[in-house]
Structures are given as structure tokens and as C-alpha cells.
Structure 1
Amino acid sequence: MSDSPRPGDDEGLLDQVGPALSRLRRRTSGGRGDLTRNLVLNVVHDDPGEMTVGGVAAEMGVAQPVASRTVAACIADGLLRRAVSQADGRRTVLELTEAGEAERGRFASEQREAFEFITAGWTAAERDQFARFLIRYSQDSSDWSRRQALKGRPGGSAATGA
């Protein structure tokens, strides 16, 4: 049986999205260490509030000890720093350093280079449309992720948003 979807087989096509995203993530990163580091830096950067190690674990879908080791490595490399929460002085939050921001920029540049190489045979309109859809998918996945987290909470329900 082929992994390629058949023409007109929308379900088969959609079954390929998850594996394709997984391959994309593996193949366009600079390696496992870079992939993990990039994920952590983006999680900390993208959070509008204060990010903790527990928040990193939740966003990455990993156990707290895994996130803790990854965050510790980023701190040791000067990419993140621990700070006192402005909302609750008993809590420790994570902040990007200037080196962390620079590393995020480096990753973004490498990813753009990979995107441009991979899509070199596409028309400009195809590249722009794919980029818009990929960004939209990423943004909309936040809603899905929040709903999944609510399902796991006692008394929480994705349908009610409670």
C-alpha cells in the first residue's frame, strides 16, 4: 500500500498531514539540539505573560524534568535567564537574553533559507499561499491545544470552555 494519497481521496490526504509536519520539523532543523533549543526559545518568546519551566513543559508536551533539563541547558548557554515574577515574587519565570534573541533570529534565518530552497520550483503565489496557510494553521493550533488542555482538567470541558 502506498503512503501517497489517491486523487480525490481527501481522507487519505489529511492522514498525511501529521507525518508530513513531523518530517518537515525533523528535516528543516539544524539537528535535535537545535530543534529543541528553537522550540524552547520560541515558547518563551511567544508567551504574552510570564513563562515558567512548567509552562514550557506544557507547551512542548513533555514531562517537567525534560523541560527543566532543556531550560537549564539554554540558561547555561546564555540564551535564557531566570527572573522573579512581577505578578508573584515567589515564582521564577524565564526570559530571553540578547543572545537568546539572536539565536532565535539565526534559527529563523536558517528556516527561511530552507523554505526558499525547498519551494524554489514553486510560483511566488504558491509560496505566499502556503506560507499564509502554514502560519494560520500554527495560530489556529493554539485554540486546539487550549481545548485539549481543558479536557484534561477536572471539571473542564472543551465544549463549555470552562
Structure 2
Amino acid sequence: MSDSPLPETGDEGLLDQVGPALSRLRRRTSGGRGDLTRNLVLNVVHDDPGEMTVGGVAAEMGVAQPVASRTVAACIADGLLRRAVSQEDGRRTVLELTEAGEAERGRFASEQREAFEHITTEWTAAERDQFARFLIRYSQDSSDWSRRTRRDSGTRP
């Protein structure tokens, strides 16, 4: 358990700490920089309800297209992703997870669950469940917000 005091409810700076806290979570619960980036890409491709492109990966990750291209190329070279022809527009190339990519997502999820259980070992079951529900809800709502923002700005993945 952390020795740092938790911010009080109503503390004006509480919400300012959310972004840095999420950043620390991403850095500290991954197997390393390569795993973090690979996990992000695999989840971006998996989570998109439509067809995901390299440009869409760049937009979702908040990085420049060349950065996303290199990361996607590494995932393809490792057999985790494949390029396919869009079913909506045959001129576009989209990304799909391979069986190995799905297995890698499962491995990451298992490692993250283990980290979550270790980190929250002194929490009650109710606290752990509540936090998990809120985190999942936040993730789903942020995905919806991101899609609306992209749609409203006219960018296409």
C-alpha cells in the first residue's frame, strides 16, 4: 500500500491528477516500452468496430503517422497483424489481428490482471470491483468520445 496520502474528495487539484495517474499506470504495468506500444496497437485494432488503418492507429494513439507506421510494421513482421483490403473501399488497406496477435493480447491481459491483483492486494474485494468497473466504464466512454471527436472533425481512421 502506498504511503502517499490520497487526494480528498472536493480537492480542486484532484481531477488534475487523473491524466498523470493514467500515464503512470500505462508505464508501470507493462512489460516494457516495446510491450506497451505493441499492446496499445493490438488493442486499438481489436477495439475498433469498423476497419482500422495505420492512420486510425496514429489518431487513436495520438502519434504521428510515421510513428504508427513503424509500430504497425513491427507488429506485422512479428506476425501479430496483417494487412488486408478494405471491404468498404478496395483502394484502402486495413489492419487485422492474426491468431498470434490475439494470443499476444491475451498474454498482455493476463499480465495486467496479475499486476492489478498485486497492486490492489490490500484493497477489499468491493474496492477492487468498484475500481475495475469505473476503469472499464471510463475506457468505454473515452472510446465513444474519441470516435465522436474524429467524426465531428471529419478525420477517418
| Band of TM-score, shorter chain | 0.7 to 0.9
CA RMSD of aligned residues (A): 3.8
Q: Counterpart of 2:83? A: 82
Moved more, 17-26 or 105-114: 17-26
User: Which residue is equivalent to 1:48?
Assistant: 49
Identity of aligned residues (%): 93
Residues 77, 142 of structure 1: alpha-carbon distance in 2 compared, 3 angstrom cutoff? same
- Residue 60 (structure 1) aligns with: 61
Note the C-alpha offset of 1:139. 1.0
- Structure 1, unmatched stretches of 5+, are 148-156
Larger RCO: Structure 1 or Structure 2 (Cα < 8 Å, ≥ 6 residues apart)? Answer: 2
TM-score normalised by the chain length of structure 2: 0.87
Distance in 2 between the 1:161 and 1:31 partners?
30
Q: Give the count of matched residue pairs.
A: 152
Could you say if the C-alpha distance between residues 160 and 31 of structure 1 is closer, same or farther in structure 2, counting changes exceeding 3 Å? closer
Answer whether contact 2:56 2:156 (CA < 8 A) is retained. Answer: no
- Partner SS, residue 86 of structure 1: coil
Judge conservation of contact 1:5–1:13 (CA < 8 Å) in 2.
Answer: no
CA contact 1:5–1:12 (8 Å) conserved in 2:
no
TM-score of the aligned structures, taking structure 1 as reference length: 0.85
What is the CA–CA distance in structure 1 between the aligned matches of 2:25 and 2:115, rounded to whole Å? 10
Structure possessing the higher radius of gyration over alpha carbons:
1
**Does the residue aligned with 1:10 lie in a helix, a strand or coil?**
coil
In 2 relative to 1, CA 12–110 (structure 1 residues): closer, same or farther, beyond 3 Å? same
